Amino acid sequence: MFVEFLHNNLTQKKKTDMKKFGNIAIAAATTLLLMSCGGIGSHPATADGFAAIEKDLKSEFGENAYYTDLSISYDESIGNMFNVTVTKEPESLKMGEWTYIQAAWTQSSEVTLEIPEGSKAADFMFQLNDKINLKKLGELVELSIEKLKAEKNIESPTLDMAFIKFPDNGDMNKAEYTVMLEPKNGGTTFSFYYSLAGELRTMDY
């Protein structure tokens, strides 16, 4: 009887320990899943959200990195997606094209720039600083959403794409922020084009 009692107690203890281990494993897996779904891919389309994206980009590519292209796209089932053409050494004339989707950066290609003889490569690129920054782009996304609600009576417009349009000739005066929105359930794309100072240049409905 005592042996049977001891055996039953040990069996019950094993079941309890296995249950605890299972709960710990589930909790750990859930934590990892939440971590993979968070970060740069989940920042909202707001001034603060885009400022956080800029911080993440600088962490990934360097505080003083140079860009020729930078776009942010959004998909409800995936989250934020990014495409950048970037380099840390502009005078090398070599830039990497990088894509971020589903919590991973991948380099799709390498680009070699051709610039006029005697000019500086950096003059044909931009950096994320006071002149051009993602916080300003996020502010303009918020402004565009409110404008679309008021003018077109669309209740919940969402971000389709936002990007910095930088001219090939490096003319800073022609650089602009572009915001593209669409109704929550899809349909017509509404585009807004702003100067770097945040002045609305044109709208395309």
Q: Is the pLDDT of residue 154 over 60?
A: yes
- Given a cut of 80, whether residue 15 has pLDDT beyond it is no
Give residue 10's pLDDT band: very low, low, confident or very high (50, 70, 90).
Answer: very low
* 119 pLDDT tier (thresholds 50, 70, 90): very high
Diameter of the chain by CA atoms?
96
Residue 100 CA to residue 134 CA, distance in Å, equals 16
According to the per-residue pLDDT averaged within each range, which of 4-8, 153-157, 173-177 is highest? Answer: 173-177
Q: What is the pLDDT of residues 66-102, one digit of tens each?
A: 999 999 999 999 999 999 999 999 999 999 999 999 8
pLDDT of residue 12: 56
Using alpha carbons, select from 74, 75, 73, 91 the residue that is nearest to residue 83: 73
In 3D space, the residue among 57, 63, 59, 120 whose CA is nearest the CA of residue 84 turns out to be 57
- In sequence order, what are the residues at sequence separation of 6 or more whose Cβ sits closer than 8 angstroms to the Cβ of residue 150? none
pTM exceeds 0.85, yes or no: no
**Percentage of the chain lying above the pLDDT 70 cut:** 81
